[in-house]
């Protein structure tokens, strides 16, 4: 700040990213960007079954796409949890202890990734519905 005015302060571009909540996907620009909903739509399509790209309705209504993408990720998370719970009993005897351990670790890692994606979709969906983000101290 020079001369006692705020208009000369340079804003760090990464500081501007704080206009989005923690956990916001890095692939999606903040909701104040001009093309943010189009980019959010592309990101959501990347998380969804490929067939979703052929439905014009979902591109016209990204909020619906976010809702469907969330359902899809919910199902993936349920499947990963079921696989983790059943792996030892259903395929454990066919695998060595080392491979079974690696499988369980992989499923844990996938579960953590899917939980993060769930949060990202929820945040983008809230923004698509026009809900403002209010930073908390």
* pLDDT one-digit tens code per residue, 51-93: 999 999 999 999 999 999 999 999 999 999 999 999 999 998 8
Q: What was the pLDDT predicted at 135?
A: 82
Contact partners, residue 66, CB within 8 Å, separation at least 6:
40, 44, 121, 124, 125, 128
Q: What was the pLDDT predicted at 7?
A: 38
- Ordered by start, the domain boundaries in the chain are 33-128
Tell if the pTM clears 0.85, that is, is over it.
no
Q: Which pLDDT tens digit goes with each residue over 3-19?
A: 444 333 344 454 444 58
Rounded Cα distance between 89 and 51, Å, is 34
Q: Which pLDDT tens digit goes with each residue over 17-37?
A: 458 899 999 999 999 898 999
Residues 105, 108, 109, 110, CA torsion sign: positive
Q: What was the pLDDT predicted at 9?
A: 37
Q: What was the pLDDT predicted at 136?
A: 79
Write the DSSP symbol of residue 91: T
Tell me the mean pLDDT in the region 116-122: 97
* Mean of pLDDT over the chain: 87
Rounded Cα distance between 105 and 110, Å, is 9
């Amino acid at each position: 700040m020079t001369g006692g005015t705020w208009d000369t302060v340079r804003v760090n571009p990464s500081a501007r990213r704080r206009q989005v909540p923690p956990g916001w996907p890095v692939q999606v620009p903040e909701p104040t960007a001009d093309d943010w909903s189009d980019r959010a739509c592309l990101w959501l399509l990347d998380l969804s079954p490929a067939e979703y790209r052929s439905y014009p309705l979902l591109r016209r209504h990204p909020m619906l796409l976010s809702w469907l993408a969330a359902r899809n990720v919910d199902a993936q998370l349920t499947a990963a949890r079921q696989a983790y719970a059943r792996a030892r009993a259903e395929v454990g005897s066919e695998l060595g202890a080392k491979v079974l351990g690696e499988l369980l670790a992989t499923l844990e890692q996938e579960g953590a990734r899917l939980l993060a994606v769930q949060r990202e979709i929820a945040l983008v969906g809230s923004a698509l519905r026009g809900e403002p983000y209010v930073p908390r101290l």
